[in-house]
Amino acid sequence: MRIGRNWTNLLNFDYMDEGQKKSFLEGKLTVPDMDATIQGRLKRDVKRQIDKCVETGLQHVELDGGIPNPYLQMPVKELETIKQYAEKKDITLSLHLPYTFTAIATCGFQEEDRIAAVDMLKRYIDVAHRLGCRYCVMHPGSIPYYQATGKYLDISNAMLTKSLLELGHYTRAKDMYLHMENNTKFDSTHIIPEDSIGMLEEIWDKAQVKYCFDLAHTFTVYKHQSEIPLPVEAQYEKIPAKFYYAIHIGDFVPEKALFHPPLFRESGVIKRETWKNIFRLFRRKGVQYVVIETAVREREDMIEGDQLQREEAAWIKSVFDEVMAEPAPELEEIPSKTKSRVK
């Protein structure tokens, strides 16, 4: 089991020019302003993301395809050079596919929209293949809350099933796994395992689409931590082992609607002892890749983003290493055809 990071916006401050830094420090530019301005450069600098993982003892980089991103504009030679560099540094890669704008139509009601979304995501899967990625992650699309019910929802799920089959086949043909990640409440559907596992079971024999369950996404439906059922890790037990391969970890502060806060501060729902239980469960379920998805929302955190990620990596690695040093648990049975390459 490897642990790694999606770098989200943690290194934004390093990519600001002196004028931007001055305006940011003076409060004239905000964290979202810098996300919109800096993300293309940060995401393209994959070698630096790899180096930062090596420095902090992490073993995997999940490239962030959230919009804006540079990946479809990157020439083949650049992608191949990144692949070779990652292999040299013994860092594995994955790609989180876009999940806004065009991509949300994978579950859309109109076939023309769905085709446009699927065709675009295939182009990103091609990029992932050239990079030597082990897997890709997609979201299940998004529909307006007032259409997330009844016949509308039936139509949407039928369209999503069609998209998953097509994209799952396409990804497996390139020796990668496709994962569907659960949504947050802001996308109306497919938030908890019960929303999605039936669909994934239905197509399993044809496409082997995995389930990248982000527990923190389920916390978004609550306004107070006291409302969240305990133990929180029980949600993972609802997912059969065959759907596990890669997983995202993060947290949420319901009272502040603060998404993906730094894990080492333990300001959200999940504390250190719970993380131990979660990593133990991951071992038993056969998880291969664990991806930290922390992002910063405050000005001070963006300024200190590099130091923050170092502290977080050291903290979560200490939890991870402690669990990995324990005797290996008995794995839940996974059908042989779902087993795959692992470095």
The alpha carbon dihedral of 174, 179, 180, 185 has a sign of: negative
Is the pLDDT at 189 greater than 90, yes or no? yes
Provide the 8-state DSSP code for 192: S
Tokens of 10: 């943690």
For the chain, domains (ranges, CATH) are: 2-338 (3.20.20.150)
The number of angstroms, rounded, from the C-alpha of 103 to the middle of its chain's C-alpha atoms is 15
Give the angle 246-249-253 at the CA atoms, nearest 5°.
155
Q: What is the pLDDT of residues 272-309, one digit of tens each?
A: 999 999 999 999 999 999 999 999 999 999 999 999 99
Residues in a beta bridge with 60: 4, 92
Give residue 338's pLDDT.
Answer: 46
Query: Would you tell me how many other CB atoms lie within 10 Å of the CB of residue 314?
Result: 12
Mean pLDDT of 158-170: 98
CA distance 33 to 146: 31
Give residue 335's pLDDT.
Answer: 55
Mean pLDDT of 39-55: 97
Q: Which of 308, 260, 298 is nearest to 30 (CA)?
A: 298
Q: Which of 1, 2, 9 is nearest to 294 (CA)?
A: 9
The pTM is what? 0.95
Which carries the bigger pLDDT value, residue 335 or residue 144?
Answer: 144
pLDDT band at 160 (very low <50, low <70, confident <90, very high): very high
CA distance 126 to 238: 32
Q: What is the pLDDT of residues 111-154, one digit of tens each?
A: 999 999 999 999 999 999 999 999 999 999 999 999 999 999 99
Q: Which of 103, 171, 167, 88 is nearest to 134 (CA)?
A: 171
Tokens of 207: 């496409």
Match 């065959």 to its residue by tokens. Answer: 242
pLDDT band at 333 (very low <50, low <70, confident <90, very high): confident
pLDDT band at 343 (very low <50, low <70, confident <90, very high): very low
Residues 6+ apart with CB under 8 A from 247: 212, 213, 214, 282, 287, 289, 290, 291
Amino acid at 71: Y
| Percent of the chain as helix, strand, coil, to the nearest 5 | 55, 10, 35
CA distance 335 to 150: 35
pLDDT band at 259 (very low <50, low <70, confident <90, very high): very high
Mean pLDDT of the chain: 95
